Each structure stands twice: as structure tokens, then as C-alpha cells.
Structure 1
């Protein structure tokens, strides 16, 4: 008997489609956090500094954000499956190059550039496939719960898995692990069928892609200069803002001319979707910011090695896992707004607990309660935010909203590493003081996210794409 390709439709085919999609989100999120526990090992092996590794991690997250929207538009032109597979291949090549990197420059090329671009091509199709394959409320909530949950678990478990691999073998073996996962995803994806025929004649807004990429790059790279040169930081931030304003003017000009810009301004006319995007951005700012700050503090101030640092993150991993697994039941019983508000409240309490206990105790156990609460809070709201945003637009715009949603999330990840990380790295010699300031900055972001969540409509439940 011959097998048939996997396409949206039956329950069995949809479930088999979900496995490679969830694994893809897992490995990309894992890549964003697992290097945090390898900072000392990489620095010593490659002859670089904590700042050098921070730049590598931040650039990976930033390049994902920069190219996520162009990548989503290319899914319409090249096809969702083709972009997905091309992204996997680029990511795999980057992992192999990172594994054998003789210096920081090659590591940046492999990890930051190739893995970053690869992720930007493969992740938009993940959410497009899921949206089109799962059309009813319950199944879509389940699908987004699995995919977003695997993303949260990948980010939370990154330090633990990375620490185990680094201590047992080498930091380079962590990239070999990623290569194996990518190979498995490619094998599982062979039978996927693109649900929508690609349109090779569909125009692509190159100018818009360049302007948006330049704007985001200069903003984040400017933040990274905060501890080195205030004047340079101001110049870069100003350039970033100017490029983003130019991008907005370009979009409006193209729309007035009847052309299709990189990103339709109509995507920002839905208040619920806008608030959902804000909550997504801040959730990943908190997740990646906490991961980087705590990992660097433990290694540079407390002298912990990779495995000890990774083990300390176990409560956060457990918290994300537990709340993600409960996402489906919670979505059926509670409004999306309630889940997101609750998640931010628990996360704020977790950050406060982390600050309070670590200030009064040098014990490893002092990190546990706070990290557990942060993991529980973030895990419970990752899925509702995705549901709200993806379900807010019709099928014809799923490519655009998937790219925008993922870009906003990855921009949040880069903000977390850049802003909180820079506060910490700028004054590592002060020990607890710099750690407290960095975590306090994340607490402010959490309160902003809570304010946005409170403004969401009360009846925000996931629904079918219009």
C-alpha cells in the first residue's frame, strides 16, 4: 500500500503534520537560550568575552526578527513547504558551521546569520500550516498550544539541555544536537503538501524589506552600545527610528499607489490583535531576558559551570511544561484575556520572588521559587496570545500575520537579551547590584505587558480564521 502526502484535512494527517511543526519551533527557541550557559566555555575556547557571546546571541534573535516578515511574504511567492525546507537546510548548515567554528566571527556567521535566516524562513510556514490545518476552535487551540508550548519549553529547557551537553561533552556538541533535530524534522516533513498553490508572479517589496530590517537592526544594535558609548548608542537609535519612519511612509505610499507592500497597514487596525502582539513581544522579552541575566550572573558572579547553571533553570522548565500542557483545558474553560492577565501577574510575582530571595540568600535553592513562578506565568499565556493574533485575520493574510507575529516575538527575545543583558554586562563587577537592576528592568516590562493584557476585550476566545 502506498502512503499519501500529509495535507490539512483529516485528524490523522493533521496530527502527523503537527509533529515536525512543533519540533521546528522547539529547536529555534532552544537555540536562542541554550548558549546562555555556555558563555564561559565559549569565551575561553574562542578567546572572546561575555560581551562577544551576548552580541552573538542577540544577533541571532535580531536576524530572526529582521527577516521574519520578508520570510512570511516569500511563502506566498515560493510556497510554504519550499520555504520551510529551505529554512531547515540553512539552519542545519549554520549549526554545522557553528560546531566547528575556530573563532567568534565564524560562530556569528553560522549561529547568528545562517541559523537566524533559516529560522525566519521556516517559522512563518509553521503557523500558516497550523492555522489552515486546524479550523475549529478546540483543535486550533490544541495545535497552537503544542507549537507555542514546545517553543516555551525549548527556551526554558535550553539552559538545562545545553548545560548537560556542554559539561558532558563540549559546547560544540550542542550544535550537533541541533543538527540531528533538524535532520529528523526534514525526514518528517517529506510528506507535507502545501495547502495553497504558490504564486511566483506575486510582487515582493524589496525596498520595504530593506527599510524594516535596517530600522530594527539599528535600534537593537544601538541598545547593545549602552555600556560602551552613549553618543554612538544615540546615533544608532536615531538611525533606527528614521528607517522605521521611512518604512511606514513607504508602506502608505505603496498602498495609495495600489501596490502590495511588505506589510499591510490594515494589520494594525484591529485593536485586539495589536494588544496581542504587545503581549507576545513582552512575553519573549521576559523569557529570554531572564534566561540570559540569571545564566550570566550564576557563571560570572557565583562561579557555576554549565551543568550547575542549567540545573538551576529546571524549575522554570517545569513551570513552562506544566502550564503549556494545561493550555488546551484552560483555553476551553477560561477567556484568553484572563489567561494572559493571570500569566503576567504570576510572572511579576515570580520576578519579585527571585529578587527578594536571591538578595537575602546565596543558596542555589533561592532561585527555585521565582523561576518556577516565571515559568508557570509565561507558559500559561504563550498560547492565548498566539491564538488571539493568528485568529484575528482572514486566511488570505495568514502569511503576513504569521511573519509579523513571529517577528514581534523574536524582536522581544532580542530586546530581552540586549536590554537586560546590557544592564548586567555593563557592570558585572558590582555583582548583586547589576543583577538586581537587570531584573528590575524586566519587572517594568512585565507590568507594561500586564497593562496591555488588561485592555484586551473580555470575550477574546480563539476562533476560526475568517
Structure 2
């Protein structure tokens, strides 16, 4: 019996292993937002154009989301530790290059490479967690900590970015990764056993890899550029159509291939697809919330980078508390009630934030909404992460992790594209009517935040279709006809 075996998480090695894995996740998650506060300083130092500057954050998201599925499958087939170490080395080297960059192109190239490294790191790391922590509720508690890290990383990125930019300087938003990566690599060899390769590269699904990577890269690129070129522009319509064609061709190839990159049988696991879609829609809303609130604090309230980052401290604390409580509640009430309640609570907090005035006050206009959102986020991310990994066979753990995190990156790009268009449209209309700039900006941010809240409510509705996993019991919740895909 599984529950008769001692708890791995209760051991010193188990605690160190969980800390290591969550540190890797924190690195990958935080680097999506840590550069945002430093962008003005980067622009001045390297003489960026406004058009090129957006590629510092967007370049990371492009390769991170576009290569995620490939990273997850490589981890399953070539060995999780091997792929995570490779990704960490690439992540660290690109951080050095970015931190020492002397031209805009050098920094953008480093961010593209860093995203590729993160795409190799994250799916393998989450699959290591779900395969190492199995017994006596260990997995539920471990995923609770992971969910807390995921929920609070964006806010922590803004805070750390502000501290570094106003302290040692903008270059340290890149260089700070290097010593952490060195410790991570050492920890991986000390704490995680190497797993054997289960396939040869000669049998790898090259066509499927090309199709899905091309489709995801084109989709994320099109979404990132859409607010700038226009949703009705031929370039946007062509990019969306092209990505759809590539992804449909990928699914057709996977259905017929002998060694598919994405065995479609994984979608027979009850509730997995619903959990991934919930993640996509929720991140579209919550990721954009950080973006617009930060712009409001800097451009309307006149906060410094450090003040803007510090404003998110209560949210980070709230997420951590909610994640800890939720990981214990999960075994009693299951993932579905936590997802639905958490997302509705987060949506209510974002609705509060959408009522921001031009002369806003942090204690009355921002803090209550941030605290309400944090409690919902902590619960939702723990539950979604657990539900998306429940019932997954060990040989597909990396793939399941990649699907969840690809949903997160695609959701972030999609949300930013949609809500930036919403905010810009409202602001431009008011400016055309000679409305003062602070009022026009606030109205645009407010409308975008309201749309973010609607997306969180929609994510709660999608979560009703997810399986109600109770941690370990969820491993039995697999459709009867599900069989692992053979690796030849």
C-alpha cells in the first residue's frame, strides 16, 4: 500500500529536493516579469527604440511558450535531469550575455535564448516533482508549494526588478540568475537521480516538432505584435491563419505517426484538457493585471520602480498563505471546488482593482483588491497544477507538465494582446476628445482590468469541467481505454 510507506517529503532530502525544484520554477516564472520595471533604464543605456524595446519581455515569452512542448517531450524521452541541466546551462549563459549586453540586438538575442532554456527546464522539473513525490499525500503538498511559487512569481518579479534596478542597476535583473543557476545545477546532480534515455533521436518525431514549434512560435509572435499592427491587419490575420494551419497539420501528423511528439492518448485522462484550458484563460486575466496595475502606479500615481515593486509584497504573502492552506484542503474537498472558488475570488479582487481613480490611494484602492486576488490565486494555482498532473503515467509526466505550462505562456501572450487593445482603444478615444492624459490612461487601464476580471470568471466556468482530484486518489481517474504510447 502506498500510504504505508514513509513520507519522502518528511525527510531532509525530500525538503531539499522540493526547494530545488521550486527554485528552478521560480527562476523561469520570475524572468517573465523581472525585466518590466527595468525597461526604461535599458532603453536609456542601450539606446533602444520603443519598437525594439518590447522584444526584451516578448522575446522570452516567444521562445518559452513556443518551445515548451518540445522541452517536455525531450525530458520524457532523453532523461529529465539531463534536459533540465541542459536548459539551466543555456539559461545561465544567456543571462550572462544579456547582463553584459552592449547593443539592443545582443540583449534581445539573449532573452530569446533564455526563453529556450526555460522551455527545457520547466516541464522536466515539474515532471521530476510529480514522479518523485508520490506517497502519503506528498505530491499534494509538493504541488501546493509549486502552485504558491507559480501564483506569486509575477508579483515577486516586479518587486525584485524594482530593487535591482534602483540598487546595483538594470544589468543585475539578468546577472542575478547566474549564481542561482550554478547552485541549481549542483543540486540537480546531488539530489536528483539520472534517469535513462528511453528513445533514440533517430526515432524522434522531427516533422511533428517542426510543425508544433513553428505553429506556436508564429501564434505567440502574432499575438505579441497584434496590438501594434492592428487586429484587422493582413499581417495579423495571416499570422493567425498560418499558425492554425500548422497546428492542425501537427495534430494530423500526431494521429498517424508511430512515435508522436504529442501522444493524443494523453487527452483521454479525465479533466486534463479542462485543467489546461482553465490555466490558459486564468493566466490571460491575472498576468495582464500585473502589467496594467504597474503601468497605473508608474504613469498615473508617479510611483518609483521600488515603490511599484513593494506594492506587491502583500500579494506575495497572501498567495503563499493561501497556497499552504489549499494544499491541505485539497485532499478533503478536491481540486474542482478550490479552482472555482479561487478563480471567482481572484476575479472579485481584480474587479475591485478595475475601479481605480486618477487620484488613487494605495490603502483604499489597491491593497484590498490585491489581498482578495492573492487568496484566490494561491488556491487556484495549487488546484490547477494538481488537476493537470493527476492520473498522468510517469512516462508522460514531462508532456503533461509542458501542456500546462504552454497553456500558461500562451494565455499570457493572448491576454496581453487582447487587453492592450482594449486599454489603448479606450485611452485613444478619450485623448481624441481632449481628455487629460492621466484620466485617459486610468480609464484605459480600468477597462482592461475589468476585462481581466471577466476572464477569471470565465476560467472558473471552464474549471467546472475539470476532474475533482484529491491528490493520490486521482491516479485512478484514467479512462479505461487509456494505454501508454509505446516508445520504439
- The question of a shared fold, defined as TM-score above 0.5 by the shorter chain, is answered with yes
1:65-464 pair list within 5 angstroms: 65-111=65-111, 113-136=112-135, 138-194=137-193, 196-201=195-200, 203-223=203-223, 224-229=225-230, 230-231=232-233, 232-254=235-257, 259-356=258-355, 358-359=356-357, 361-365=359-363, 366-424=365-423, 427=427, 430-457=440-467, 459-463=468-472
Other structure's SS at 1:189 match:
helix
Q: Give the C-alpha shift of residue 67 in structure 1.
A: 1.1
Instruction: Tell me the TM-score normalized by structure 1.
Output: 0.90
Alignment deviations for residues 72-120 of structure 1 (CA, whole Å, 9 cap, x no partner): 1212333111111111110001111111222332221112x22111111
- The number of residues matched between the two structures is 452
Report if the CA contact (8 A) 2:222-2:236 is conserved. Answer: yes
Give distance in 2, aligned partners of 1:96 and 1:320: 31
The answer as to whether partners of 1:220 and 1:418 remain within 8 angstroms in 2 is no
Alpha-carbon shift at residue 422 of structure 1 (Å): 4.9
SS of alignment partner, residue 171 of structure 1? coil
In the other structure, the counterpart of 1:4 is none
- How far apart, in 2, do the equivalents of 1:456 and 1:193 lie? 31
Distance across 2 between alignment mates of 1:456 and 1:124 = 21
- 2:9–2:15 Cα contact (<8 Å) kept: no
Q: C-alpha offsets along residues 27-80 of structure 1, whole Å, 9 cap, x if unaligned?
A: 111111112222322233233355544333133123112111111121233311
SS at match of 1:431: helix
The aligned residue for residue 433 of structure 2 is: none
Which runs of at least 4 in structure 1 moved beyond 6 Å after TM superposition? none
Q: What SS is found at the alignment partner of 1:37?
A: coil
* Aligned counterparts of 2:99 and 2:274: Cα–Cα separation in 1: 39
Alpha-carbon distance change, 375 to 52 in structure 1, aligned in 2, over 3 angstroms:
farther
**145 and 49 in structure 1: CA distance in 2 versus 1, 3 angstrom threshold:** farther
CA distance in 1, matches of 2:182, 2:220: 32
User: Cα–Cα, structure 1 residues 247 and 399, in superposed 2: closer, same or farther, change >3 Å?
Assistant: same
Does the CA contact (< 8 Å) of 1:77 and 1:199 recur in 2?
yes
Contact 1:9 1:133 in 2 (8 A): no
**8 Å contact from structure 2 (residues 335, 387) kept in 1:** yes
Deviations 1:333-363 (A, max 9, x none): 332111111111111111110012x137422
Q: Against the structure 1 CA distance between its residues 248 and 19, is the aligned structure 2 distance closer, same or farther, given a 3 Å change threshold?
A: same
Distance 1:441 1:214, change over 3 A: farther
Q: Secondary structure at the match of 1:226?
A: helix
1:9, CA displacement in angstroms? 9.6
CA contact (8 A) 1:283 1:382 kept: no
Query: Is contact 2:17–2:192 with CA below 8 Å preserved after alignment?
Result: no
